[in-house]
Amino acid sequence: MASSSSSGLTFKLHPLVIVNISDHYTRVKSQLNPPPLTSTSATVNGVENQQQAPRVYGCVIGVQRGRTVEIFNSFELLYDPSTHSLDRPFLKKKQELYKKVFPHFYILGWYSTGSDAQESDMHIHRALMDINESPLYVLLNPAINPTQKDLPVTIYESELHVIDGIPQLIFVRSSYTIETVEAERISVDHVAHLKPSDGGSAATQLAAHLTGIHSAIKMLNSRIRVLHHYLVGMQKGDIPCENSLLRQVSSLLRRLPAIESEKFQDDFLMEYNDTLLITYLAMFTNCSSTMNELVDKFNTAYDRHSRRGGRTAFI
C-alpha cells in the first residue's frame, strides 16, 4: 500500500459521514458481550481482547461533479465473514431506498474501521468496482490518541501499479477537506460545547466558558503576531513590499478599536448594574428565608419554658 497522493480528484467529506461511522462502531462495540474475566483465562483473554475490536462496514454515498467528489452520507452494510464479502442483496435494497430519497446521490465507495488498510479489504474493494469504477475506501481509526491533532479518518483510492511485472491494485492515500452545510455546522458546534451534565456548579461552567474564550484569543494573538513579524520584516527591508497586503492590513487596523463609543459604555454599564442588582436581590431573598428558618428553629428549640401547661409528654 503506497501512501502517495492520487489522481487529482479533490475530496470533500461531510461531518455527517464521520459521525455515522463512529456511531456505528460504538454501537457494535458496546453491544458486544464482554468476555468473562476469570483468573485462569486472564492471559488468554488478554490476547483475545486486542482482537475484539469489531470491524464495521458500510457504504458511502455522495455526488461527483467533474474532479470534485463530495461525500454526503453513509449507511451500514452487513458483512459476511465466511465469504469475506458484503451482503449484495441488502446493499441493493438500501441503494434503492436511498435513491428514492436522494436521487442525486451515487454510491461512491465504502467505509470500515481499523488502524490501517489491509489486503483483505482489496476483495471488498474489487467487489464494489462493478457499481462504481473507482470506489473510495474511507477508513476510521477508532483508537483514541490524545496527542493526535488531525481526524483519524483517511480516504484511500485504488490505483493500478506495476509491481514485479504484475499490474496490481493497491490503495493510495488521498487528502480531503471537510465541508459543512449550515445544519451540520450547528450540530458539530453543539457537540463541541457539551459540558458535563453534573458539573452544574457555577465555578466549573464559568471556568469552561473562560477557557473557551482564552483559547480563541490565543489563536487571534498568534495570527496577529505573524502579521506583526511580517510588517517588521517589510520595514527592515528583508521582505519586498507588497502593496495590496499592506492595504488590507491598514483597512483591518482601521476597524480597531472595535468597541469604544460612548453609547456602548452606557449600555454596558447599565446591563452590568442590572445583573449585579438582580444577583443582590436574589442573595437578599435567600438570606431572609434562611434567617426565617433559623428563627423558627430557635423558637421551637428554646421557647418551651415560657409556655403554660400543654407540654406534650414524649414518653
Partner 1 sequence: MDIEQNQAELIDNFVKQASAQKGTALGSVILEATSHPSLFAFSEILALPTVAELEGTENSVYLKVLQLFAHGTWSDYKSNCSSLPQLVPDQVLKLKQLTVLTLAETNKVLPYDELMMELDVTNVRELEDFLINECMYAGIVRGKLDQLRRCFEIQFAAGRDLRPGQLGSMIQTLSNWLGTSDNLLVSIQEEIKWADTMSELDKKHRKEVEDRVEEVKKSVSVKLQTVSRLKLSSEGSRISTLNLVE
Site residues for partner 1, window 255-294 (CB under 8 A)?
A: 255-256, 261
Taking residue 121's Cβ as centre, other Cβ atoms within 10 Å add up to 22
C-alpha cell recorded at residue 273: 448594574
Q: Give least dist CB 204 to partner 1, A.
A: 7
195 binds partner 1 (CB under 8 A): no
Taking CB under 8 A as the criterion, the residue among 119, 253, 303, 308 binding partner 1 is: 253
Q: Output the smallest distance, CB 279 to partner 1, in A.
A: 15
Residue 78: count other Cβ atoms within 10 Å of its Cβ. 13
Output the CA–CA distances (angstroms, integers) from residue 255 to 232, 248, 251, 261, in the order listed: 21, 11, 7, 13
> Does residue 238 belong to the site contacting partner 1 (CB under 8 A)?
no
DSSP summary character for residue 307? S
- By beta-carbon proximity to partner 1, the closer residue of 27 and 225 is 225
What is the spatial distance between Cα 152 and Cα 146, in angstroms, rounded to a whole number? 11
Q: Look up residue 247 and give its three cell numbers.
A: 492595504
Q: How far is the CB of 254 from partner 1 (least distance, A)?
A: 6
- Shortest Cβ distance from residue 212 to partner 1 (Å)? 10
The minimum distance between CB 240 and partner 1, in angstroms, equals: 11
If DSSP codes are grouped into helix, strand and coil, which group holds residue 248? Answer: helix
User: DSSP readout, 39-69?
Assistant: STTHHHHHHHHHT-S---EEEEEEEEETTEE
Contact (CB, 8 A) for 217 and 211 = no
Between 67 and 255, CB nearer to partner 1 = 255
236 near partner 1, judged by CB under 8 A: no
71/20 Cα distance (integer angstroms): 12
Q: Which stretch binds partner 1 (CB under 8 A): 14-22, 86-94, 132-140, 232-240?
A: 232-240
Decide if residue 246 touches partner 1 (CB under 8 A).
Answer: yes
Shortest distance (Å) from residue 300 CB to partner 1: 13
239 binds partner 1, rule: CB under 8 A: no
- CA 135, CA 124: separation in Å to the nearest integer? 10
Distance CA 86, CA 130 (A): 13
β-pairing verdict for 57-65 and 136-140: unpaired
**Least distance (Å) between residue 302 CB and partner 1:** 13
Number of residues lying near partner 1 (CB under 8 A):
39
Q: Is 243 in the site for partner 1 (CB under 8 A)?
A: yes
Query: Considering only 80-88, 95-103, 160-168, 250-258, which stretch makes contact with partner 1 by CB under 8 A?
Result: 250-258
Candidate ranges 125-133, 143-151, 249-257, 279-287; the one touching partner 1 (CB under 8 A):
249-257
> What mask of x and - would describe binding to partner 1 in positions 155 to 194, judged by CB under 8 A?
----------------------------------------
Paired sense of beta strands 10-13 and 79-80, if any: unpaired
Which strands make up the sheet holding 166-174, listed edge to edge? 166-174, 153-163, 136-140, 106-113, 57-65, 68-76, 10-13, 176-178
Which spans of this chain sit near partner 1 (rule: CB under 8 A)? 201-204, 206-207, 210-211, 213-214, 217-218, 220-221, 224-225, 227-228, 231-232, 234-235, 243-244, 246-251, 253-256, 261, 311, 313-315
